[in-house]
Amino acid sequence: MDRPLTQNIKPDLSPVTLDDYRRAGGYEGLAKALKEMAPADVIGAVKDSGLRGRGGAGFPTGVKWSLVPQGESAEQKYVVVNADEMEPGTFKDRLLMEADPHQLIEGVVIAAYAVQADTAYIFLRGEYHLSASRLEQALGEARSAAYLGKNILGSDFDLEIHLHTSAGRYICGEETALLNSLEGKRAIPRAKPPFPQISGLWGRPTVVNNVETFCNVPHIIRNGVDWYRGLGRGEDAGTKLFGASGRVKKPGLWELPMGTPIRVLIEECAGGMQEGYTLRGFLPGGASTDFLLPEHLDLPMDFDAMMKAGSRLGTGTMIVLDDQTCPVRMVLNLERFFAQESCGWCTPCRDGLPWVVELLEGLLAGRGRPEDLDQLEQLARLMGPGNTFCALAPGAAEPLQSALKYFRADFERYLKPASTARVA
Amino acid sequence: MNETRILSEQETAEILAAAGHYPDKSAASVEALKIVQKYRGWVSDEALKTVAGLLEMSPDELDGVATFYNLIFRRPVGENVILCCDSVSCWMLGADRIREHLSERLGIGLGETTADGRYTLLPIVCLGACDRAPVLMVGEELYEDVDESKIDELLKRNGQTWTDR
């Protein structure tokens, strides 16, 4: 089975050197793009490949790129790598950056050629120190080998990539907040439209994609669209990094075809639950996705299939809930995170999340009233899509609303009899 | 401006080099604050004002940035900052116990610094190592699959060497 994203990664996770990367066909995709393809052909290939964004939203990558104004305009354009991996439960981009940094760089250069950008930034979360040093090392190697800089591989295409490290704030992963942060401001989301492809960094057309998304691009260009589409087992194309954490026997990360059943990930790759624990449910794609249950294990890990089941594929890194962890306390942990990381820009998020935390804390402290559960449901609706500038609060609502649906009895167990609760 | 008096030549040079990566100097705001922190551990009001001058920002604007990010310290911290992950996967696998053990060993709570100025204990959100939970970060080093004995070992081992950062 082809595992393009991790094929070069060494068992000890030491970084793939430029020589190793080239020996395995690295930078051939870039050479092909620059020598044989017009920028529009590259966008066409990525569109036809069916690649969907690996940061969580699953937006078709080629379509995103095609929204950037094309043609012989002298306007400055940018490509930005969203390497602000801070979604709780998510640990996939770190592996790609630490273990095979040239794969990311090649993907960025091809993307920049496709949209005709001459500057790119890698927006990296501040805590990823090892990723930072390995990326700097690889960027230096790429510059020396003419994969970056002026007249890349003898073409008339120029690109410089700068590494920009952040200082810890989850909201920076939201693409418009990321742009504000990259401009040196507080990371507050921007209203959309205009979308970044039209008006992004410093008001210029900008493409923002996740690390893993860029890492797919060299393989699509080198091996072709048909090969890439053939990698998926279901509706979606390609492979993806999937992970599992929690009380499974072997927590970890695996590259699997899109469309692989969840059961393969949790029971085969992760070895099932640890002795003495049973599976209660799981968040399929990080903290901001709806819970799913054991009955969902045979679902394919595809974007649309997960949506139909009432959740999202998200980042594809699953957080497993066992039968001895209280789902109410787990939701409190998640909501505290979202409340803390809210940027405070809009009301449903800034006020709604602390309210959720307060209600959950009250419930756990024995101060809960039956109407609190209705209030929590109402808050989840209030923080839902369409009421906020960005996806932080809607994301926070997902584990809350699904926990209230699937684990209702666990919430009710904390309720005091109505007569005594009134007094408090 | 007394830039040179407050920031070293090295700090100023590094900040200006970072600013060169962007069409607008203020984009280097976070990087500049991190450079100051690398040499001083934290960002004082005087340092902040000087950096603001270098980046052509107002001090208030730069302070708005500084206070927004979890890892920019506007108060002194210990020589070694211990970041305890409290996000969901680590929480499920005993992060509270780990933090309590650290608190007990160091005699400080979250947000506090030991009397000898050597350690500061802070919470941190998901460090992206959930398959090796619970995890800690000490300085720039990630510690995975942490338990009480590993913490004791770490503190003992670093008892002698942690002063040369």
User: What is the band of A421 on the pLDDT scale with cuts at 50, 70, 90?
Assistant: very low
pLDDT of residue A351: 97
> For chain A, which residues make up each domain, given as ranges?
18-229, 239-322, 327-418
Q: What's the topology of domain A327-418?
A: de novo design (two linked rop proteins) (1.20.1440)
Check residue A73 and give its pLDDT: 67
**What is the percent of chain B where pLDDT is above 90?**
89
- Chain B nearest-CA distance from A40, in A, is 27
pLDDT value, residue B105: 94
As a CATH number, domain B2-66 is 1.10.10
- pLDDT for residue A1: 76
What pLDDT does A71 receive? Answer: 75
Rounded to an integer, the average pLDDT of A163-184 is 97
What whole-number distance in Å separates Cα of residue A328 and Cα of residue B30?
A: 37
Q: What pLDDT score was predicted for residue A34? A: 98
Nearest CA to A164 among A120, A212, A210? A120
Query: What's the average model confidence in pLDDT over B74-81?
Result: 96
Q: Which of A90, A325, A341 comes nearest B128 by C-beta? A: A90
Closest CA to A299 of A258, A270, A327, A271: A258
Question: Does the structure's ipTM exceed the value 0.90?
Answer: yes
Q: In whole angstroms, what is the distance from residue A79 CA to residue A77 CA? A: 7
Closest-CA distance, A159 to chain B, in angstroms, reads: 13
* Domain A18-229 listed as CATH 3.90.79.10: no
Tell me whether A218 touches chain B (CB under 8 Å): no
Return the percentage of chain A with pLDDT > 90, whole number.
96
How much is the pLDDT for A72?
66
pLDDT for the residue A417: 62
Distances B11 to A41, A125, A236, A423, B40 between C-alpha atoms, Å: 46, 22, 49, 60, 10
Q: Which tokens sit at A137?
A: 């090392």
**Interface A:B, Cβ pairs < 8 A:** 133
Considering the domain A239-322 in this protein, what is its CATH number? 3.10.20.600
CB-based contact A247 B129, cutoff 8 Å:
no
CA distance B75 to chain A (A): 16
Round the average pLDDT of chain A to a whole number and report it.
Answer: 96
**Mean pLDDT of the region B130-148:** 96
- A70-109 per-position pLDDT tens digit: 876 668 999 999 999 999 999 999 999 999 999 999 999 9
**Three-state secondary structure string covering chain B:** CCHHHHCCHHHHHHHHHHHCCCCCHHHHHHHHHHHHHHHHCCCCHHHHHHHHHHCCCCHHHHHHHHCCCCCCCCCCCCCEEEEEECCHHHHHCCHHHHHHHHHHHHCCCCCCECCCCCEEEEEECCCCCHHHCCCEEECCEEECCCCHHHHHHHHHHHHHHCCCC
Contact at CB, A168 and B125, closer than 8 angstroms? yes
**Nearest chain A residue to B141, by CA:** A129
Q: CB-CB: which of B29, B88, B137 is closest to A287? A: B88
Q: What pLDDT score does A43 carry?
A: 98
Using the predicted structure, report yes or no on whether residue A281 has a pLDDT greater than 50.
Answer: yes
Q: Tell whether the model's pLDDT for residue B46 goes beyond 70.
A: yes
Cβ of A86 under 8 Å from any chain B Cβ? Answer: yes
Q: In the predicted model, is pLDDT for residue B163 greater than 50?
A: no
The CATH 1.10.10 portion of chain B extends over: 2-66
Where in chain B do CATH 3.40.30.10 domains reside? 80-157
Q: What is the pLDDT of residues A185-211, one digit of tens each?
A: 999 999 999 999 999 999 999 999 999
Tell which residue, A71, A139, A76, has the closest CA to residue A109: A139
For residue A424, what pLDDT band results from cuts at 50, 70 and 90? very low
Name which of A75, A129, A178, A186 to mutate to probe chain B: the one with the most chain B Cβ atoms within 10 A of its Cβ: A186
What pLDDT was estimated at residue A319?
98
Q: What is the reported pLDDT for B162?
A: 38
CA-nearest residue of chain B to A165? B31
Q: Which of residues 175-204 of A touch B (CB under 8 A)?
A: 181-187, 202
d(CA A369, CA A421): 6
Q: What is the pLDDT of residues A23-63, one digit of tens each?
A: 999 999 999 999 999 999 999 999 999 999 999 999 999 99
The minimum CA-CA distance between A316 and chain B, rounded to whole Å, is 13
Burial of residue A371 (number of CB atoms within 10 Å: 0-12, 13-18, 19+): exposed
At the fourth CATH level, the homologous superfamily of domain B80-157 is: Glutaredoxin (3.40.30.10)
Lowest-confidence range among A169-173, B17-21, B59-63, B157-161?
A: B157-161
Give the residue-averaged pLDDT of B111-128. 96
Give the closest of B27, B55, B87 to A88, CB-based. Answer: B87
Tell me the average pLDDT across A299-319.
Answer: 97
CB contact under 8 A, A245 and B89: yes
Determine the pLDDT at residue B3: 46
pLDDT of B78 > 70? The answer is: yes
Residues found in chain A: 424
